[in-house]
């Protein structure tokens, strides 16, 4: 028959279905080339059979990828088996062949086009894989929601640094370096997000009072202190030539009271004191975090009183 493709059992590959299910345009789909491999036929022949029966394949059953989506797919597959494509601005592409994507309903319809017992059985197995993956996502929805709140650019940067084939656990091991429990650490040039995240973790520790000693503060430092807990008092000791004005302090206190600015020219290094019991020595001015390599460490808290007496 004209619309029939015969699938021979000896050409049937070992099925690895779950790794071939993608999420494109918010739908679970499989590409024509992956389906052809599972059915044991050429992609060209599979698409020819579909085109002869286009009335059976509306857009909710099958659609063709754009050049933009194909580029994103190639980039994503180099990092992970489970791929989610979102809308982005076009980047241009030299892709000559744009594959077709089949939804779960489209796969079911393929069984009627690729007429053979093997095709029916293969379609059933593929649909079962769709269902299993959907149940997995539903059962772990909270995990995926939490991942969605992570800093996306940071995650992307970390993934690119990982070698191919390494487990995702390595990514989270790297992120563990910046937990509050760390007593010392070094940040290198360009780690701006990491450095600010670490500084904000210091602020989050405070229950009553924060004292910052830093000769070079600006409005970006005040922005960090906006993350403090309600009721925590902030005192900043800085150079008299600071660019922060009394109006800046007034506006800050209208929304995040209470912050006080005091002048000193007796201290060279940067110190952060939390609740008069934790003393951080920070190697860079807080306005320059991540711009150059610097370190931090927790010092003996017995030095706090001595520092305060010499301001």
Residues 180-309: name the CATH superfamily.
Endonuclease Chain A (3.30.870.10)
Q: Is the pLDDT of residue 193 over 90?
A: no
Opening angle at CA 158, ends 153 and 162, nearest 5: 145
Q: Tell whether the model's pLDDT for residue 10 goes beyond 70.
A: no
The predicted model gives 190-216 an average pLDDT of 85
Tens digit of each residue's pLDDT (9 = 90 or more) over 73-130? 776 655 444 444 443 433 344 456 789 999 988 988 887 888 767 777 888 888 888 8
Instruction: Rank 27-31, 115-119, 140-144, 207-211 by mean pLDDT and report only the highest.
Output: 207-211
Q: Using 50, 70 and 90 to split pLDDT, how confident is the model at 238?
A: very high
Q: Alpha-carbon distance 218 to 248, whole Å?
A: 10
Token pair listed for 174? 């790297």
Q: How does residue 261 score in pLDDT terms, banded at 50, 70 and 90? A: very high
Give the CA angle between residues 153, 203, 284 to the nearest 5°. Answer: 70
- Which of 121-130, 178-187, 207-216 has maximum average pLDDT? 207-216
**The token pair that represents 311 in the structure block:** 């301001």
Strand order across the beta sheet in which 259-263 lies: 184-187, 294-299, 278-282, 270-274, 209-213, 233-238, 259-263
Q: Look at residue 197 in the predicted model and tell me its pLDDT.
A: 78
Domain boundaries, the chain: 9-148, 180-309
Sign of the alpha-carbon dihedral angle for 212, 216, 198, 246:
positive
Q: Please, which pLDDT band fits residue 147 given cuts at 50, 70 and 90?
A: low
- Is the pLDDT confidence value at 4 over 60? no
Residues of the chain with pLDDT > 70: what percent? Answer: 72
Report which of residues 188 and 208 the model is more confident about. Answer: 208
SS (H, E, C) the chain: CCCCCCCCHHHCCCCCCHHHCEEECCEEEEEHHHHHHHHCCCHHHHHHHHHCCHHHCCCCCEEECCHHHHHHHHHHHCCCCCCEECCCCCCCCCCCCCCEEECHHHHHHHHHHCCCHHHHHHHHHHHHHHHHHHHHHHHCHHHHHHHHCCCHHHHHHHHHHCCCCCCCHHHHHHHHHHCCCCCEEEECCCCHHHHHHHHHHHHHHCCCEEEEECCCCCHHHHHHHCCCCCCCEEEEEECCCCCCCHHHHHHHHHHCCCEEEEECCCCCCEEEEECCCEEEEECCCHHHCCCCCEEEEEECCCHHHHHHHCC
Average pLDDT score, the chain: 76
Interval 35-49: pLDDT, tens: 888 888 889 989 999
Q: Which two tokens stand for residue 69?
A: 């989506």
Beta bridge mates, 278:
274
pLDDT of residue 271: 92
Residue scoring higher pLDDT (254 or 7): 254
Confidence of residue 274 (pLDDT cuts 50, 70, 90): very high
Contacts of residue 52, defined as CB under 8 A and 6 or more positions apart, other chains included, come to 2, 3
């Amino acid at each position: 028959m004209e619309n029939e493709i015969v699938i021979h059992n000896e050409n049937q590959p070992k099925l690895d279905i779950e790794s071939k299910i993608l999420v494109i345009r918010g739908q679970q789909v499989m590409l024509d080339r992956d389906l052809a491999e599972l059915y044991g036929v050429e992609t060209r022949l599979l698409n020819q059979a579909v085109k002869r029966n286009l009335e059976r394949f509306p857009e909710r059953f099958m659609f063709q990828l754009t050049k933009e989506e194909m580029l994103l797919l190639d980039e994503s597959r180099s990092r992970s088996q489970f791929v989610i494509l979102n809308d982005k601005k076009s980047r241009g592409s030299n892709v000559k062949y744009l594959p077709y994507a089949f939804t779960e309903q489209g796969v079911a319809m393929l069984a009627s086009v690729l007429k053979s017992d093997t095709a029916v059985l293969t379609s059933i197995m593929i649909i079962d894989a769709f269902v299993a993956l959907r149940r997995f996502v539903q059962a772990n929805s909270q995990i995926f929601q939490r991942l969605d709140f992570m800093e996306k650019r940071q995650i992307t940067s970390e993934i690119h640094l990982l070698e191919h084939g390494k487990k995702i656990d390595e990514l989270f091991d790297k992120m563990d370096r910046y937990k509050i429990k760390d007593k010392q650490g070094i940040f290198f040039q360009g780690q701006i997000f990491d450095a600010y995240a670490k500084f904000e973790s210091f602020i989050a520790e405070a229950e009553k009072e924060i004292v910052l000693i830093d000769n070079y503060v600006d409005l970006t430092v005040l922005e960090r202190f906006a993350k403090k807990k309600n009721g925590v008092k902030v005192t900043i000791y800085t150079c008299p030539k600071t660019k922060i004005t009394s109006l800046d302090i007034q506006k800050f206190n209208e929304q995040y009271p209470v912050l006080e600015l005091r002048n000193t020219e007796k201290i060279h290094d940067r110190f952060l004191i939390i609740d008069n019991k934790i003393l951080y020595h920070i190697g860079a001015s807080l306005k320059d975090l991540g711009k150059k390599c610097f370190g931090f460490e927790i010092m003996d808290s017995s030095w706090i009183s001595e520092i305060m007496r010499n301001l």
